[in-house]
């Protein structure tokens, strides 16, 4: 599998050849691996994208995230990386991830 990163190495990575089986969410203190088979849908715009899986909701905030939304729809994203605290405010790029939140969904 070949991968490429978005403009920022701290943003997201996508597969350019194969469809991947899981999405890795690398937070500063925890890593989640969510299988694409549990992907329900994604929504958002340029400054915030939300991806819903059967068990978790992933919220990504930043800029230029419309490209991320398209990559999520194609299930091409291999990894999303939360930036360190200092990197959140130093990006000179038009596309960057500022914050990543993962919440477990309550089954009722």
pLDDT tens, residue by residue, 28-55: 999 999 999 999 999 999 999 999 999 9
User: Strand pairing of 77-81 and 22-26?
Assistant: parallel
User: CA–CA separation, 89 vs 106, rounded Å?
Assistant: 32
> What does pTM read for this prediction?
0.84
User: CA–CA separation, 84 vs 71, rounded Å?
Assistant: 23
- Give the model's confidence band at 16: pLDDT under 50 very low, under 70 low, under 90 confident, else very high: confident
Tokens of 52: 């819903």
Q: Span 6-30, mean pLDDT?
A: 81
pLDDT at 62 over 60: yes
How many domains in the chain? 1
Range of the domain at 27: 3-104
Instruction: Report the candidate in 35, 42, 56, 62 with the shortest Cα–Cα distance to residue 102.
Output: 56
């Amino acid at each position: 599998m070949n991968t490429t990163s978005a403009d920022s190495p701290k943003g997201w990575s996508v597969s350019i050849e194969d469809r991947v089986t899981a999405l890795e969410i690398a937070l500063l203190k925890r890593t989640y691996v969510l299988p694409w088979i549990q992907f329900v849908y994604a929504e958002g715009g340029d400054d915030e994208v939300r991806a819903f899986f059967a068990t978790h909701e992933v919220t990504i905030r930043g800029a230029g995230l419309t490209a991320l939304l398209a990559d999520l729809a194609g299930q091409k994203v291999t990894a999303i990386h939360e930036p360190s605290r200092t990197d959140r405010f130093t990006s000179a790029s038009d596309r960057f991830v500022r914050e990543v939140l993962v919440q477990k969904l309550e089954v009722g």
